[in-house]
Structure 1
Amino acid sequence: MKPIKLGSSFSLVAPVLARDAYAQCRGAEVITRDVAIVGGGATGTYAAINLKDQGKSIIVVEKQGALGGHASTYHDPTTGTPINYGVQLYHDDQVTRSFFDLLNITLGGGTFPQGKTTQYIDFRDGSPVLNYSVPPASEDYFQALHKYPYLETGIELPEPVPEELLLTWDEYLEEFNLTDDAIATYSRPAITGDPTKVLALYVFNNMNTDMLEEQIEAKIVINANGDIAEPYTKALAQLGSDVLLNSVVTGGRRGRKPADGVKLCVSTPEGNKRIVAKQLVFSAPFVPENLESFSLDERETNVISKFEGGCYYTGVVTNLGLPTNYSYANRGQKTEYHIASVPGVVMFNPTNVDGTYYYWYTSFSDLTKEQVEAETRSTLKLLQKTVAGADVNAEPRFVAYKSHTPLHPTTSAEAIRNGVYRDLYALQGYRNTWYTGSIFSTGSSALWNLTSQLLPRIIAASEQ
């Protein structure tokens, strides 16, 4: 999945196509709102509930059949037990608690999902990685992180951007004598690509104070019923017809003055609908393929074309044929710091249903459900041959799946050095459009905090 460069058909043709697509919506039902929200994941749902609570009319356009984005829950058909196979927890802070209060959700004790002793195995050949453990981040890491407070809740960078943040992570570890933290930092599970080549900026943005507090101080909250997707089912019930599921924007017109507002053509299961709104919140992944229907101008294209997301997939599998008293994590047998090879399964983690595991899978290129499950099955059949006590005749059964691609859009060191994040922040409010989501941070609670800071500006703009 490559970023689309300037001069391609994206920058030259998409605005015309978007205008034509909107024109094709003539005669469709018109939905008039204060704010249109595209994307019903963590930030889109948070924005919708809070804007509605503050008296604003909203409409959410979500391409999937449910709200929730990276929060995925499978309910075991026999016991009804919820099995979370995407987002696993929420950070315990006031913004999170206030959001849950709006949704009338009871919070339970702050503990990590139940785990078991981990077997570290090289999933390429099934060999065990012995005498390996994952230590917590050291005080040296904390001191390095705190040098860049602007990476805690976003990527609003100083100018010039500190050059050390544009080093790859393996270079940063060597440059600043942080190699003792290599295993701790390379063990973050929800990352894509080669972890040694991720820019230091993105490591600090992801492995921030909130994440470290969750790991070290267990500063987390969990829904009392264990269903991590509950905020989104509750939100959908509250929002009702203000959410268009299985729907996509096919064309749009966005004015340059507040009075011009935003007009969108949306394809829904019930046919085309026209949305007329004062402001637009875009919370879907910030990548060209998600924005080409919005009649982008050159200024917007110059920013958006420089980002691409990673490829990540999750699922639930039963009958693994492996002993059920362990977790299984992928680590390289012969790689430095035992870094796992990509592409492949990241880990198999047990759930509260004995014998049922959730797995995460990362890749360099976009894959289909069939490809991910076939590769995961091959990994399990390999482990059945090498793990003591395994059953080589067991046939894995896949019961849930979700693609999280494109995950956490990023860009190059050159683009960052040239001010792409400065230009991204400058787009806030331009053409009555506001951006939020994982382009700025990771973790649901961090995204809710970021969006809460943006809402007053959106509300003010909708009242002009």
Structure 2
Amino acid sequence: MLSRISTAAVVAQIAMGVAATPCKATTIKSTVAAWQAKYPGATVQSADVVIVGGGSAGSNAAINLVDAGKSILLVEMQAQLGGMVNSYTDPTTGNVHDFGVATFTNVTGTEAYFERLGITTKSPTFGTTTSYYADFTTGETIDYVAPDITGEFAALGTYYDVAAQYQDLLFPSYANWPAPADIPEDLLMPFGEFAAKYELNDTMLLLWAGIGAGLADMLDIPTLYMMQTFGAQTAAVFLGTDVQYVPESGRNQDIYDAVASILGDAVMLNSMVTQSVRLANNQGVALLVKNQVSGDYTIVTADRLVMAIEPTASNLAPFAPDSTESAVFDKGTWSVVNVGLVSHPSLPDDALIYNLPASAANGNDFAYPEPPFVDYFEAVGDGLFQAIVVGWDDLTEDAAQALAQDALDKLAEAGTIPATNGVPLTINAWSNHGPMDMRSTKEDLQAGFIQDQYALQGYRSTYWTGAAFSNQLSTYLWAYNLEYLVPLVVASF
């Protein structure tokens, strides 16, 4: 196995075996001709690079590739760019509530990216809440004793110190990831064991509620994936030793509206890939793209494809993954996160109600709900509460909303909050973030999973960005694109 995955090595691998591949002109040309015959109204567009997925990773990759001199087309299934940024404007007050992405941290390239987009920033402000603890399966309050701030920050500082030792192995990419035999044991052990080893008890709820709950099984996953999700730099933000930003407007969607304005007609909104041809050895791709509103088809040809969507089986179906790709992605496990803004007169205006099992009482800092679960209800102003619901990849949006309703009903039945009097939870805004935080097992990591994953870069003219190859946090993805992905794609031409 490779102990280091360098750009040069990947490009060299891509260049091998060209003679064994069908001629690009013949294959792409015949594909386009066949699609034109089947869809006679289809238009044809071409670019150096086509990017599928206009969320945080795809939008940023598009801007960076344009700035590197490449023509692009960006295919996005939603009506706007931004993926799961989720900005909601209260119709009564006009206040904006960002309930998907809260803030942006000061990772490499963040400030320059905002300047490129013409986005001015400010430090975020946060409201104050009163914390309550209850078991949402029964509605009963839990005698959980929260750590004092001194102990919490001391334990978080310990986590930062250890995580910082491994930062270069997984940030901004896994290009420096060690050979399987050399993976540090800290990164392979279940995070619960890691946390016990380093006595992180007093900061466990912060790690859970801050980001870790979205992993669904934070205590059981290899510590690597916890550090990928909640790394040293994120810990520094919570410790107050690093900064975070939001747009001056207070609306995170403005970032992606600015991207759309810059890219103009290169953005294909409301669009999904229905079929594809991807050739080996960087000989190009052809995508059949359907506009979900108009029903019109566009045939896209490009020299390179950048995938900025999660590589789940359903997402990849139109791209017909072969056995090499499936051998990697079939090993992935995914959690699913739903985020909503809800309201109900029984929820206290200043409350942050955490969901913890009864076993969390009496000083047990390693007890968390089993998926699927509602993480918490948190007051965000205007009578709205952010609700986060986490499960596995079979959790539907309807089921997630039903869990939130059930949690409210249980809290009321137990007398933890006032009676609902039959009034249902109001869903003011809701976003199914879908599968997130792909992870594998310790055994797969020791068998070279990450080396196999990164060997897919450039395979079948396809390059990969997004949380499965880096981190789910926007600024980490931007750094990954800037320092790893875009140089790799540009060097392949």
**Which range, TM-score by smaller chain?**
0.7 to 0.9
Measure the CA separation in 2 of the matches of 1:22 and 1:363: 44
CA contact (8 A) 1:321 1:396 kept: no
After TM superposition, give the deviation of residue 391 of structure 1 in Å: 4.5
Matches within 5 A, 1:142-291: 142-149=160-167, 150-156=169-175, 157-159=177-179, 160=181, 161-175=183-197, 178-179=200-201, 181-189=203-211, 190-217=213-240, 219-258=243-282, 260-269=283-292, 270=294, 271-291=296-316
**2:404 corresponds to 1:376:** yes
Question: Which among 115, 120, 124 is matched to residue 133 of structure 2?
Answer: 120
Q: Could you give the per-residue CA deviations for residues 34-66 of structure 1, whole angstroms, max 9, x where no partner exists?
A: 110011111100011222233322111112222
Out of 62-71 and 385-394, give the one that drifted further: 385-394
CA 1:231/1:319 → structure 2, altered by over 3 Å: closer, same or farther? same
Which of 386, 402, 419 pairs up with 2:448? 419
Q: CA deviation at 1:213?
A: 1.7
Report what 1:342 is aligned to. 371
* Contact 2:187/2:222 (<8 A) preserved: yes
AA paired with 1:147?
A: Q
Asked if residue 405 in structure 1 is aligned to residue 434 in structure 2, the reply is yes
TM-score by length of 2: 0.83
- Match for 1:54 among 49, 58, 68? 68
1:309 and 2:322 matched:
no
Instruction: Answer yes or no: is the 8 Å Cα contact 2:332–2:438 preserved in 1.
Output: yes
d(CA) in 2 for partners of 1:54, 1:154: 20
Name the stretch that deviates more: 396-405 or 131-140. Answer: 131-140
- CA, structure 1 residues 265+388, in 2 after alignment: closer, same or farther (shift >3 Å)? closer
CA contact (8 A) 1:384 1:391 kept: yes
What letter corresponds to residue 70 of structure 2 in structure 1? K
Tell me how far apart the structure 1 counterparts of residues 449 and 109 of structure 2 sit (CA, whole Å): 29
Say whether 1:442 aligns with 2:472: yes
1:186 shift after superposition: 3.6
**Cα gap change, 1:232 to 1:143, in 2 (>3 Å):** same
Q: Does 1:456 align with 2:493?
A: no
With over 3 angstroms needed to count, the CA separation of the structure-2 counterparts of 1:20 and 1:415, relative to structure 1, is farther
2:419 is aligned with 1:396: no
Name 1:90's counterpart in structure 2. Answer: 104
How far apart, in 1, do the equivalents of 2:133 and 2:33 lie? 53
* CA–CA separation in structure 2 for the residues paired with 1:255 and 1:323: 57
SS class of match (1:118): strand
Q: Which runs of 5+ in 2 are unaligned?
A: 1-29
For the structure 1 residues 322 and 301, does the alpha-carbon distance in structure 2 shift closer, same or farther, using more than 3 Å as the test?
closer
Q: Which residue of 2 aligns with 1:40?
A: 54
Amino acid at match of 1:357: F
SS in 2 for 1:263: strand
- CA 1:431/1:192 → structure 2, altered by over 3 Å: closer, same or farther? same
Query: Alignment partner of 2:63: what SS?
Result: helix
Following superposition, the deviation at residue 396 of structure 1 comes to: 2.1
Separation of aligned partners in 2, 1:302 and 1:62: 27
> Hey, what's the Cα distance between the residues in 2 that align with 1:97 and 1:88?
17
SS of corresponding position for 2:386: strand
Decide whether aligned partners of structure 1 residues 227 and 329 sit closer, same or farther in structure 2, where only a CA change above 3 A counts: same
1:359 aligns with 2:383: no
What do residues 240-262 of structure 1 show as CA deviations (whole Å, max 9, x unaligned)? 3212222221222222233x221
Q: 1:282 to 1:344 in 2, by over 3 A?
A: same
SS of the equivalent of 1:292 reads helix
**Number of equivalences:** 441
Answer yes or no: is the 8 Å Cα contact 2:289–2:300 preserved in 1.
yes
TM-score, normalising length from structure 1?
Answer: 0.88
Partner amino acid for 2:474? S
What is the CA–CA distance in structure 1 between the aligned matches of 2:461 and 2:386, rounded to whole Å? 41
What displacement does 1:447 show?
0.7
Distance 1:20 1:115, change over 3 A: farther
Q: 1:423 to 1:320 in 2, by over 3 A?
A: farther
Return closer, same or farther for 1:81/1:176 CA change in 2, 3 Å cut-off.
Answer: closer
Per-residue deviation, 1:177: 5.0
Aligned Cα RMSD in Å? 2.4
Distance 1:153 1:332, change over 3 A: farther
For 2:199 and 2:123, the matched residues in 1 are separated by 38
Unaligned runs of 5+ in 1: 1-18
Change (3 A) 1:395 1:256: closer
Q: CA deviation at 1:432?
A: 2.0
| SS state at 1:406 partner | strand
Secondary structure at the aligned position of 2:214 is classed as: coil
